[in-house]
Structure formats: structure tokens, C-alpha cells
Amino acid sequence: MDLSINIGGMAGQGIDTIGDLLTKVFVKTGFYIFTVKDFESRIRGGYNFTQIRVADNPVHCSVDDIDLIVALSKDAISAKRDQLVEGGIIIFDDRFDFDALEECHYPAPLSKKAREVGGSTRMTNAAALGALLSVIRFPFSLAEQVLTEIFGKKGEKIVEANVRVARSLYDLTEETFSGSCRHNLSMIDSIPSENRLIINGNQAIAYGAMAANVKWVSSYPMSPSTSAFIEIVSHANDLKIGTLQTEDELASLAMAIGASYGGVRSMVTTSGGGFSLMVEALGLAGMTETPVVIYNAQRPGPSTGLPTRTEQSDLLFTIFASQGEFPRIVLAPRDPLDAFDVVTRSFNLAERFQVPVIILGDQYLADSVMNVPRIDVTNVEIDRGKLAADRLDDPYMRYRLTDDGISPRAFPGDRGRFIVSSGNSHLEDGHITEDPAIRNAMVQKFLRKITAIKDALKPPDLYGAKTTKTVVVTWGSPWGAVREAIEHLEHEGVSIGHLHFTDIYPLRTKLLKDVFTSAERVISIEHNATSQFAKLVTMETGLKFDGYITKFDGRPMTPRWVILQLKEVGI
């Protein structure tokens, strides 16, 4: 079973509410889900949708083909109709003129019943939900429980009215919908999934940071990163975490650097445009060797670009951002569950190597919802790196020259020592210098870290046989769509493998070189227009790809799209 439901309408019509509700209903009854949201940069009106994929096996991406459309506005019919599968169902408000009716199309009195039964057309979304549950033969009692939970906060009266409206459409649909094209989700005894925690990428980032003992988060709001910050702020009182919405992004990172110098784990959340503003402070973190974690939920640029949509186009900017040269680490989670792992590792890497760590998420990752196993935060490993011993027989030097390039850290307030940091070139004791020999020694100290960082990063994942004819290379969030596409192609007998990077920079090159040696053809797939990761690979290794698949319309990849593109480049 693998069913795709698209609920569309105007911003403000409660699309999100039905989407969240349905997602919960399905997960609660044991299905796997993957939910994405597509919305415009406006508060009301326009055309938005939530797309829920329901399956009895784990799914990691959204799909093109839609089995069922619930349309709360006329645009919602016209926008998605082409993607409806043969025999797919459209449920829509009978207020709309829609004359191309087929057997599976169901004009339902959604707003009418909402008004009559619930007393307000604002409950049209509850009516649509009732109709939908009926069409997929889903037991209403189970939905009712979840409905009560979700609306519960709004008070008993509102819950009761919504349930009544949903129920009325559920019953009415049983009687009146004559189409034979119904799905049957009533056999829910099997319960394929016990993964009952629903998270999106930004929540996973927030949970990971909190599990890693982040104590200071300063941020300026910017889509699509904001909800990660808000998730932490909303637990700040419970868990005693310092959080602040700052005057701008540069202040955010400067504060995080100050907090880290003071001895706490600190983080900022932003998107590409905000990261641009932070770049000056990024260099300060580099020069002062101050650990800090920067979460960049990318969106399409340049400039304001497509503010609510997705792209992976900040990679090269991230790697090269700031004047001067210093080591940094760049990681890109592949899905919400992976995001938790990535963020917890990022704090350890930042402190172990005393470098800024940048997590490259994107809108697709940030807002994608999936059900995951219970996350255990109690056993997250915390490695604060090399700290200065308490003994004070040596004078403390913040930038002591060491073989591994890492100088022991201490924090202001420690007795018997002073911690001197500077964004200028400095001596071992932290005070400024323009001495050429010291300058050389300090830069070499920096750069010595890179080898050890590479060893500490995770190698890419190689899927498929060691010697496939074609190998596809990806990084970050396209993982889900590409993985599914390639599994499908393998099933068709195509000789194809997949190399995926989560830990991006500094780049580990061994598996890349192996793949380029063994495969006839290596193809990159990225969510940007200029194949930035492929460029990075070529820059670091001299290896050239045989094909470049790019997507930069702001919409996520789907397995079908990936398959079509791969076939076009001739696999």
C-alpha cells in the first residue's frame, strides 16, 4: 500500500490542520508517512497544499503521482489534476463549477454542511476530512480520537463541533458517493509500523541541539529555519537554555561566539541570506578557533529568491565564505532522522577541532514530516574536545602550538590564568603580532587540523554492487527521492549504484576515486543549477562527471522525476 493524498486550498483555510491531523491518524494506526508542505510567501489566500504519502513500508520522499485530491479552492483542483493517477479521486466543495466530472470525482457539500452542522464555514476543513476518511474506508472512531487531541486545546465546544461536522460528511459520503474508486484502509490490524514519533527536519535539528547540551541559541527569524529556533525557544524555560532573537544575523553569530568563548555550546539558525550577513563573524570564529554550530536551512537564491521553497545552492558559498583561510566543517543531513545525528555530531566536531561547523539543511528537509523510532536523547555522546588541565604549572596559552594543531581550551573565570583571544594574527598567548614566523606557524597549526577532521568525518554511503555500470552521486536531502528511484531502476535490472555524502567538507575523496575508477559513468544529481558538489569534487580530485542532473525550480525532487532524468542522460 502506497497512497498519496494532496490537500490543497488557500492559506488560512486550515490546510495545515487537516494535513497534521491526517498525518497523526495514519501514524497512530500504524502506517508510515512522509508529508511535505508547499506554500507561498503570503499570510492568506494563494494556493498551498499539504501532500501526505501513506505506506505500509518506510518512505523517505514525496511523489508526483496523486491518488486523492482534496480541494478547498478551485485552484487546488486545476493545479494538481494533471498529477492524478488514473482512477484517482477528487473531493471538492460543490460550490465550485467543475464540469469535467468523472466517476471518481466527488462534489461534496463541504462548506454547506460546515455551516449547517458546525455553525461556521471555517469548519470546511473538518468536513473535507470526514469525506476523505469515508472514501478511504477509514474507521471514523480512530480519527475522532486524534481530532479531539488536536482541537482539544481550543476547548470542548470547538472540538465537539468539528467532530460533528466531520462525522456528518463521513456518513453522507457513505450514502451518496457512488464512485467505485475507493481505497480500503480499514484493515489496520496488521500495524506495519510502530514508529510513533512524528518529526520534521527542523524539530530534529532542535532536539539534537538540545540533546547535545546547547546552552545558547541566538537567531534572527528567516524562513525556512525559523521553526528550529522556535522549537528550542519553546523548551528554553523547561530546560534552561539561553535564547535570544537578535537585531540581525551578524549579532546572532557574534553572540554565539562570545557565549562559546565563555564556555557554553552555542548555535545559530538561519537561511542563506542570513548566513551572508554572518560571514564576517564566521571569519572571527575561524581566526579565534571558537567552536560554533551554524544551521543554514537553504532556500533558493540569489537575494530573496523563493522564500518558502527549496534548493541546495549555498554549498560553494558555505565552503568559501569569509576572507582568509581557515578550517571549517560542512555537514548536510539526508532526512529528519539523520538531522538528529548530524547535529549532535556537529557540536562534538566543533569543540574537538575548535572550528565553525555549518549544517546545510534546506526547506524540503526542514518542513518534511516523517515518523521515526523513539529518539533516545539520554545517551548522546558529548565530547568537549581538548580542555586545559587544572594544573597551573605552565603559563596558559590559548593558542599553544601543538603537534595536532589543537590548543587546549580554558574559559574566562578560571582561576590563575587569563584567556586571551584575538581576531588578529596572534601569538601563542593570544596577543596580537605581525611576526612572519609566528604568522606561518599559526596558519600551519590551523591547517594541520584538516587531516584529522577528514578522518573524523563519516565516509559517504555507497549503495549497490561495487562495480555497477553507472554510479549516481548525491548529497543532503535529495537522498530519499534518488534512493527510491535507484532501487526502482535496480529492480528493472539497470546496473546502477549510488554514492551519497552527508559529511561534505573537508571532502573525503577515497570512495569517489574508487567509484570513478570502477564505473563507466558517474552522474551527479543536485538541487541547484550549476552542480556545485560536482564542482567541488572536480576541484579536489580532478575527476570529471559524465552527467549532471540539476533541479532549481524550488520544488523537491521525486523518484519519478529522477528516473526520467536518468533515462534522459542514457542509463
Partner 1 sequence: MITVEALEGPQKITWCTGCGNYGILAALKKAIVELDISHEDYVLVSGIGCSGKIPHYINLNSFHTLHGRPIPVATGLHMANKDLHVLVHTGDGDCLGEGMGHFIHAARRNVDLAVFIHNNGVNALTKGQFSPAAPRGYISKTSPPPPGSPMEPVNGVAHAIVAGATFVARGYSGDQKMLVELMKAAITHRGFAVVDILQPCVTWNRKLTWRYFNERTYSLEEAGHDPTDRGLALQKAFEYNGKIPIGIFYRTEAPLLIDGLSLPDVPLKDHVTDRSRLQALIDDQIL
Is residue 376 close enough to count as binding partner 1 by CB under 8 A?
Answer: yes
Strands of the 470-475 sheet, one edge to the other: 461-463, 496-501, 470-475, 521-526, 547-550
Only one of the segments 59-67, 204-212, 271-279, 341-349 lies at the binding site for partner 1 (rule: CB under 8 A); that segment is 204-212
Is residue 461 close enough to count as binding partner 1 by CB under 8 A?
Answer: no
Only one of the segments 122-130, 229-237, 460-468, 520-528 lies at the binding site for partner 1 (rule: CB under 8 A); that segment is 229-237
Is residue 239 close enough to count as binding partner 1 by CB under 8 A?
Answer: yes
Provide the greatest CA pair distance for the chain.
88
Least distance CB 426 / partner 1 (angstroms): 8
Nearer to partner 1, 266 or 477 (CB): 266
Is residue 415 close enough to count as binding partner 1 by CB under 8 A?
Answer: yes
Cell of residue 115, nine digits: 455551516
Which of 76, 135, 210, 482 forms a contact with partner 1 (CB under 8 A)?
210
Which of 139, 320, 404, 418 forms a contact with partner 1 (CB under 8 A)?
418
Residues 423-452 binding partner 1 (CB under 8 A) are 423-424, 429-432
Only one of the segments 270-278, 323-331, 415-423, 560-568 lies at the binding site for partner 1 (rule: CB under 8 A); that segment is 415-423
Nearer to partner 1, 266 or 310 (CB): 266
Least distance CB 237 / partner 1 (angstroms): 4
Q: How buried is 385 (Cβ within 10 angstroms: 0-12 exposed, 13-18 middle, 19+ buried)?
A: middle
Is residue 421 close enough to count as binding partner 1 by CB under 8 A?
Answer: yes
Nearer to partner 1, 75 or 249 (CB): 249
Least distance CB 214 / partner 1 (angstroms): 8
**Gap between the terminal Cα atoms of the chain:** 29
Is residue 542 close enough to count as binding partner 1 by CB under 8 A?
Answer: no
What CA–CA distance (Å, rounded) separates 401 from 446? Answer: 10
Only one of the segments 152-160, 357-365, 375-383, 444-452 lies at the binding site for partner 1 (rule: CB under 8 A); that segment is 375-383
Size of interface with partner 1, in residues (CB under 8 A): 70
CB 217 within 8 A of CB 241: yes
Is residue 251 close enough to count as binding partner 1 by CB under 8 A?
Answer: yes
Is residue 243 close enough to count as binding partner 1 by CB under 8 A?
Answer: yes
The alpha carbon of 8 is separated from its chain's Cα centroid by a whole number of angstroms, namely 22
Least distance CB 152 / partner 1 (angstroms): 14
CB-CB neighbours of 204 under 10 Å: 29
Least distance CB 436 / partner 1 (angstroms): 17
Nearest to 144 by CA among 3, 21, 4, 17: 21
Which of 121, 148, 422, 509 forms a contact with partner 1 (CB under 8 A)?
422
Strands of the 369-372 sheet, one edge to the other: 105-108, 84-93, 66-71, 2-11, 45-55, 32-38, 369-372, 197-200
Task: Report helix angle 140-151 to 124-135, nearest 10.
Answer: 150
The pattern of x and - marking residues 277 through 296 that bind partner 1 according to CB under 8 A reads ---xx--x---x--------
Is residue 198 close enough to count as binding partner 1 by CB under 8 A?
Answer: yes
Query: What is the DSSP track for 96-122?
Result: S------TTEEEE-HHHHIIIIISSGG
Which of 180, 237, 303, 517 forms a contact with partner 1 (CB under 8 A)?
237
What CA–CA distance (Å, rounded) separates 571 from 566? Answer: 6
Which of 58, 107, 192, 258 forms a contact with partner 1 (CB under 8 A)?
258
CB 52 within 8 A of CB 5: yes
Q: What are phi and psi of 108, to 5 degrees?
A: -115, 150
CB-CB neighbours of 323 under 10 Å: 8
Which of 277, 279, 306, 375 forms a contact with partner 1 (CB under 8 A)?
375
Query: What is the DSSP track for 343-366?
Result: HHHHHHHHHHHTSEEEEEEEHHHH
Distant-in-sequence, close-in-space partners of 301: CB < 8 Å, separation ≥ 6:
272, 273, 311, 313, 314
Only one of the segments 33-41, 161-169, 372-380, 453-461 lies at the binding site for partner 1 (rule: CB under 8 A); that segment is 372-380
Nearer to partner 1, 78 or 424 (CB): 424
Only one of the segments 58-66, 237-245, 385-393, 546-554 lies at the binding site for partner 1 (rule: CB under 8 A); that segment is 237-245
Nearer to partner 1, 259 or 519 (CB): 259
Is residue 377 close enough to count as binding partner 1 by CB under 8 A?
Answer: yes
Nearer to partner 1, 268 or 365 (CB): 268
Residues 3-42 binding partner 1 (CB under 8 A) are 24, 27-28
Nearer to partner 1, 166 or 256 (CB): 256
Residue 84: strand, helix, or coil: strand
Query: What is the DSSP track for 265-276?
Result: EEEEEE-HHHHH
Which of 196, 439, 458, 513 forms a contact with partner 1 (CB under 8 A)?
196
Is residue 152 close enough to count as binding partner 1 by CB under 8 A?
Answer: no
Residue 517: strand, helix, or coil: helix
Nearer to partner 1, 49 or 207 (CB): 207
Distant-in-sequence, close-in-space partners of 163: CB < 8 Å, separation ≥ 6:
126, 144, 147, 148, 151
CB 70 within 8 A of CB 40: no
Task: List residues binding partner 1 (CB under 8 A).
Answer: 24, 27-28, 196-198, 207, 210-211, 213-216, 218, 235-244, 246-248, 250-252, 254-264, 266, 280-281, 284, 288, 374-378, 380, 411-424, 429-432
